[in-house]
Structure 1
Amino acid sequence: MRIALAVEYDGSGFRGWQTQPGGGTVQDALQEALQQFAGVPLRVVCAGRTDAGVHAQGQVVHFDSALDRPMFAWVRGINTFLPPAVAVRWAQAVDDDFHARFSAYARRYRYLLINRVHRSGLWHGRVGWHHSPLDLAAMQNGAAQLLGERDFSAFRAAECQASSPVKTMHKADIQRLGELIVFDFEASAFLHHMVRNLVGSLLHVGKGKRPPEWIGELLAAGDRRLAAPTFAAAGLYLAAVRYPSRWRLPAVDETFSLPVAGR
């Protein structure tokens, strides 16, 4: 039987998603919990790997098991053995041809940025930070140029293993909630470090170092060296993974609430 899980985690204390020698990753923690619950080793496949320090609201994974248990038992059982920073939100039996990564048609990432003079102590590791004022309208104008099918080579990490830099951006929104700036990106897929590189370049626009049109120029040039440095991992969240309705997967609540949004 193939089972899909939705998983949320605070990535601050992990070495990223993908299992590594010596452990310390989210995948390691999840597979260890699965083994303790199921009594046999089980390997999970995720919708999208996240780097060290990156969080998730709606990571989706699948695995195969001969163990016949109710779905609520999988959720409660796995959560019993997971560390506090990781939790399963739902479990769903799926057909054998479901694949957490390849069955998805889009992914949504969110970046949370505190924009104030002093950094956040309360939300350390959970938000990015920029100390100087930012021009929201300019950043929104820059982000609008990302929509559609684009070659995102200018925002691609050198170690990216994707077969093509061409992705379709469905959504690129930026809003301010008090001292919190929220970047929302939804695309067919994302390149390695793509969101953090986009945020870094949009902050250059917000600071007035570059005009909004610069984002379009970067896309046209396709040269990573011309764009801004990769921004901090702390504020990045894998918010949701989109699948066709035929899989009948439960929805993940994508709302969020942080007390840093106002004074």
Structure 2
Amino acid sequence: MNIAVVLSYDGTAYNGWQVQKNGPSIQESMETAIQRLLGQKTHVSGVGRTDSGVHARRYVASFKADCTIPMDRLPYALNSFLPPDIAVSGAVQVPDAFDARFDCTKKEYAYYIFPSTLRNPFHARYAYRYNYPLDIARMQEGAQRFVGRQDFAAVRSQGTPVKSTVRTIFWCEVEPVDDLIRIRVCGDGFLYNMVRAIAGTLTYVGGGKLTPDDVSAILRAGDREQAGPTLPACGLFMNRLWYEHTPELARFRLDT
């Protein structure tokens, strides 16, 4: 059977989702847990390749295996074999053709910035500390320049070659959340380090190094050097997911 699981994880100790030769990964932990539980080797496919140190509030993965454990009990069984920084919260049988990555219609990432000259140990693993004041209104104005279908070559790092750097961003919002600034970006797909580069560009806008109009010009130029820096992975979360054609996943409220 084809099984989809909903999970979340703290990515601090991992080299991202995908299995790596030089360190632990979320995918490897999941495959090991399934093998220990079911006695079967299986490939676990994930909704996206989160990078080293990136977290996920919501993440969907799928695998094919013979499983007699009821789906409502499978999360408890898997969690007993997973480390404490990875947790499965739901499981459901899906059609054989389901793929966690390709059946996802849109994704939202959230990036957290802690604007402070003093450290806060409770934000150290989950937000990027920025030493200078940031104008949230200016950042929000700049964020709107990322919305739409356009070429995002200016805000991506070199990685696996892609056929096109054109993507659709449905929304990009900057808002205060307690003592943090949260940047939420939702799109139909993302380039390597794209959200972290968007966040870095918006910190430059909020700090006065760039104007909102500069964002549009940078995107038109497609020049990575003109945009802001790629911010550290610690502040990035896969935040919400949409599976609009997979009713089996609807009850898990992945989009809230």
* TM-score computed with the length of structure 2 as normaliser: 0.95
Deviation of 1:128 after TM superposition, in Å, equals 1.2
State the aligned residue count.
255
Q: Does residue 185 in structure 1 map to residue 202 in structure 2?
A: no
After superposition, the CA RMSD in angstroms is 1.4
* TM-score computed with the length of structure 1 as normaliser: 0.93
Deviation of 1:160 after TM superposition, in Å, equals 3.8
Map of 2:87 onto structure 1: 87
The 8 Å contact of residues 14 and 23 in structure 2, kept in 1 or not, is answered as no
For residue 56 of structure 1, what is the amino acid of its counterpart?
A
What do residues 142-181 of structure 1 show as CA deviations (whole Å, max 9, x unaligned)? Answer: 0001111011000111114332211110110010134210
Map of 2:76 onto structure 1: 76
Map of 1:53 onto structure 2: 53
What do residues 104-149 of structure 1 show as CA deviations (whole Å, max 9, x unaligned)? Answer: 1101100111112212212221111112110111110100011110
List structure 1 segments (4+ residues) > 2 angstroms apart after TM superposition. 160-163, 245-248, 250-255
Identity across aligned pairs (percent)? 35
* Rounded Cα–Cα distance in structure 1 between residues aligned with 2:71 and 2:16: 27
* Rounded Cα–Cα distance in structure 2 between residues aligned with 1:109 and 1:214: 23
* Rounded Cα–Cα distance in structure 2 between residues aligned with 1:58 and 1:221: 34
* Alignment gaps of 5+ in structure 2: none
Map of 1:207 onto structure 2: 207
Query: Would the alpha carbon gap of residues 232 and 23 (structure 1) be closer, same or farther in structure 2, given more than 3 Å must change?
Result: closer
Match runs of 1:68-217 below 5 Å: 68-217=68-217
What do residues 193-219 of structure 1 show as CA deviations (whole Å, max 9, x unaligned)? Answer: 000000001100000011111111111
For residue 85 of structure 1, what is the amino acid of its counterpart?
D
For residue 180 of structure 2, what is the amino acid of its counterpart?
L
The 8 Å contact of residues 93 and 248 in structure 2, kept in 1 or not, is answered as no
| SS class of match (1:217) | helix
* Alignment gaps of 5+ in structure 1: 256-263
| SS class of match (2:168) | strand
For residue 162 of structure 2, what is the amino acid of its counterpart?
A
Deviation of 1:23 after TM superposition, in Å, equals 4.4
Deviation of 1:24 after TM superposition, in Å, equals 0.8
